[in-house]
Structure 1
């Protein structure tokens, strides 16, 4: 997106058992940090002590095995839900390829996906991926509960979580050829209630501020970007969360 602003930087918020227990002083302090970060940029970098370097390494090894499958196999990832299935081989974003795994916070959901990709399924892949997805879902739930509590609508938290569906979209950006630019994907906003973005040691994510400036996001390999997607905006909230635009480069 041209030159990037050096003035902006996402807040980094640490999560652990210590500040993940409602009613404690550390919980309340982290609630304030989360809401402040979301009101500023609509997202923040989360460092969750359960999402370790080992988790990171394990899940990306599993995804490497997945993306090494033939294209004719990967395109069998189909869904009646928009953008839940395979997306790739698109001329204006030739570097991009992705697949969607529905009910991804459950072992059954991932095994159902694996049975489509491998004739006999792939228990090793399923167990590695669900290790990550369960932790990512757990982190999202903590963040949502903090936001609901801070805005005085905590009584609605359980009903929301009870109706939530978790989609894990795995993405790969191939290396550009000599005559291609390095745009990984078009600038966009996500449409889910909340997103967790985890990169494989590639700082390819850029975010647009409310003033129209773009800035890059740096993450440690064991950290994630939590994005509110702007859907928490309503008359109930005294301040609006931003709905950040994303741009992705292949670096």
Structure 2
């Protein structure tokens, strides 16, 4: 597909607090999520110093010896340490499942022998991102007309801290193939110096996302599309190797309800908008994606209701 140049929508979080601009802000948020499923946020509450400190710690953790990184384990494949592989030699990541849990954050730090300073910054960052990700989820519900909507059950949030080791021979190759995220939404602290992320627009064209220090990117995933009864866009995206250097990113995923099924609220279902997807469990959905190696929303289509 041909690469195009286009500006990604920007959502200013301060506008939601301004009575004169809040209606337009919510309208823009909804339209952006329906059209793009991806946007940049500015004027967020997370201090730039904390973002910078967290990136430095992430880099140091990913530079640890393999013996220590392999201690980052999880009961489910793909949620702990992922080492470079023949299939994806440029990519490695460390994982923390459910960073809204203080116990889970401390266990992650224990696995990697984190120092007291590293633990302090990781806990601060996890707490700040957890508040931000839930805030955006609620704003999105309100933008769609659900003024006081309550998301049922516990929605785990997952960290994935990622290192791409790009070299001259691999410039132009994929660091991560085209995919959608399996959860509700993702907040990404992208590398502020090294580009490579591209998102697909409605025309099927890849749009390069240039670095923008001090901002976050938000992507909507498969759960958002199912929850909205197909209204929201689960954006397809990829990472390309653009230059021979190390690229670091911090992805925070709001997944799906752990003990409740994913289904569209009744407000999104009527005679003109029949229910598109059968209710499903997020963990089962995620495992199905992994087992079938279907990473671009194909499993969601298997759950379509026959009308």
Give the conservation status (yes or no) of the 8 Å contact 2:53–2:121: yes
Correspondence for 1:138 among 131, 144, 149? 131
Q: Name the residue aligned to 1:86.
A: 81
- Larger relative CO (CA 8 A, sep 6+): 1 or 2? 1
Of 135-144 and 41-50, more deviation after overlay is shown by: 135-144
Give the conservation status (yes or no) of the 8 Å contact 1:204–1:249: yes
Tell me, yes or no, if structure 1 residue 209 matches structure 2 residue 201. yes
Using the size of structure 1 for normalisation, the TM-score is 0.85
Cα deviation 1:58-112 (Å, max 9, x = unaligned): 1111112201211121122111224211112211210100011122134432221
SS, match of residue 19 in structure 1: helix
Give the unaligned 5+ runs of structure 1: none
Cα deviation 1:114-172 (Å, max 9, x = unaligned): 11111xx4321122123222222222222211221232334433x44x51111110000
Tell me, yes or no, if structure 1 residue 75 matches structure 2 residue 70. yes
Q: Distance in 1 between matches of 2:226 and 2:184?
A: 13
Tell me, yes or no, if structure 1 residue 223 matches structure 2 residue 221. no
Q: Name the residue aligned to 1:19.
A: 16
Give the conservation status (yes or no) of the 8 Å contact 2:8–2:209: yes
Q: Distance in 1 between matches of 2:42 and 2:171?
A: 34
SS, match of residue 231 in structure 2: coil
Q: Distance in 2 between matches of 1:73 and 1:122?
A: 13
Correspondence for 1:242 among 222, 228, 233? 233
SS, match of residue 231 in structure 1: helix
Q: Distance in 1 between matches of 2:35 and 2:213?
A: 24
Tell me: CA distance 1:37–1:184, structure 2 relative to 1, closer, same or farther (3 Å): same
Tell me: CA distance 1:19–1:102, structure 2 relative to 1, closer, same or farther (3 Å): same
Q: State the Cα distance separating 1:224 from its structure 2 match.
A: 1.0
Cα deviation 1:219-245 (Å, max 9, x = unaligned): 4221111112142335865x7211111
SS, match of residue 32 in structure 1: helix
SS, match of residue 36 in structure 1: helix
Q: Over the residues paired in the alignment, what is the CA RMSD in angstroms?
A: 2.4
Q: Distance in 1 between matches of 2:147 and 2:115?
A: 39
